[in-house]
Structure 1
Amino acid sequence: MTMFLGTHASRVDAKGRISIPSPFRTVLREQARPGDALMIIRPSHLHDCLEGWSASAFFAFSSALDDYDPFSEDHDDLATSLYADAYPLDCDKEGRVNLPKNLKDHAKLEGDVTFMGLGRVFQIWNPTLAEGRREQARSRARDLGRHRRPTAQEASTS
């Protein structure tokens, strides 16, 4: 499986477009299905950034909504959160997309931007916020490593 990896710099150009990093475009093209948009971009529900998904990964992920009663408030809340601000986008021939203003506002994007690969998704950040998030994630990952329970194999060798 191809994944979104690495951290890449880009910019919002004078026309408000952002160039998707070439390695990310490669992943998106490899996962594209005929007739679907190249990607789905939506605001993160956890951070002041945007999430980018291949359309096929987004639709596979969103199929979890099928487990909810379609007339329930839970379904309505989750569907609204997932779909209302999600935008299917295609790149122009230079690999740029024009993000809707509400998405740029959510992530505080203007000028420089940072793309971070997270495996099956990528995020688009304001560079200052991206660095803060990376530091937070590293710190929390170190704490998780200190507090994790040893595997059965590790326990048997100690």
Structure 2
Amino acid sequence: MSLFLGTHQNRLDVKGRVSVPASFRSALRKEQTKENHSLIFRPSHKMPCIEVWPLSIFSELTNSLDSLNLFSEEHDDIATTLYAEAWPIDPDREGRILLPDILKEHANLTDSVTFMGLGTIFQIWEPIAAIERCKAARHKVQQKTLAVPPKATKKGVEL
């Protein structure tokens, strides 16, 4: 699987479009099939940013909802959080996306945006908030001496 890496800044044009960074588009091309090329954009429920999920990764996340009782309050709350404000968006031929106003408002986006790669997904931030987020994350990692677990597994395969 290709990863979204790095931090990139781009400007919103007068129509509210922004270009997805070339390295992110390259990662997406490696994952796309004819049936599966949408990106899922949703407001983060933890931070003032937009989360962007390739459809295949978003589907993996949402498949776990099947284990919950369809009529439970827990299922309703999680489903509402994941789906109600999610937007499937395909970049145009030039790699631009048109962000819905509700997402721009959630992330406080005006004329510039910062794309932050987070491995299998990426986020879109207001540039100053992105800098602060990176600083805060780095500080927490250093303060708590956080590290990647030595034996990570994915789908039963030891990495």
| Fold match (TM-score > 0.5) | yes
| Counterpart position of 1:58 | 58
Structure 1 position 30, deviation (Å): 1.8
Aligned counterparts, 1:41-52, within 5 A: 41-52=41-52
- Residue 37 of structure 1: CA displacement? 4.0
Identical-residue share of aligned pairs (%): 47
Shift of 1:31: 1.7
SS at match of 2:133: helix
| Long gaps (5+) in structure 1 | 152-158
Tell me the alpha carbon deviations over residues 10-67 of structure 1, each in whole angstroms, 9 at most, x when there is no partner. 1110110011111111122222233234311110111000001111111111111111
* Comparing 88-97 and 37-46, the one that deviates more: 37-46
Task: Tell me which residue corresponds to 1:87.
Answer: 87
TM-score by length of 2: 0.88
Q: Which deviates more from structure 2 when the two are superposed, residues 29-38 or residues 88-97?
A: 29-38
Of 4-13 and 22-31, the range deviating more from structure 2: 22-31
Q: What is residue 116 of structure 1 aligned with on the other side?
A: 116
Give the helix-richer structure, 1 or 2. 1
**Is the 1:29–1:38 Cα contact (8 Å) retained in structure 2?**
no
Please tell me whether the aligned partners of residues 42 and 103 of structure 2 are also in contact (alpha carbons under 8 angstroms): yes
Distance across 2 between alignment mates of 1:87 and 1:126 = 19
Tell me, in whole angstroms, the C-alpha distance in 2 between the residues paired with 1:2 and 1:90.
Answer: 18
SS at match of 1:80: helix
1:65-84 matches, within 5 Å, as: 65-84=65-84
1:6-45 mapped onto 2 (5 Å cutoff): 6-45=6-45
Displacement of 1:109 after TM fit?
Answer: 0.7
Q: 5+ residue gaps in structure 2?
A: 151-159
Is the 1:43–1:51 Cα contact (8 Å) retained in structure 2?
yes
Aligned counterparts of 2:25 and 2:84: Cα–Cα separation in 1: 24
**Maintained 8 Å contact 2:2/2:28:** no
Distance (whole Å) between structure 2 residues aligned to residue 115 and residue 16 of structure 1:
15
Aligned residue for 1:154? none
TM-score by length of 1: 0.89
What is the aligned residue count? Answer: 148
* CA RMSD of superposed structures (Å): 1.4
What pairs up with 1:93-112 in 2 under 5 angstroms?
Answer: 93-112=93-112
1:140 to 2:129 alignment = no
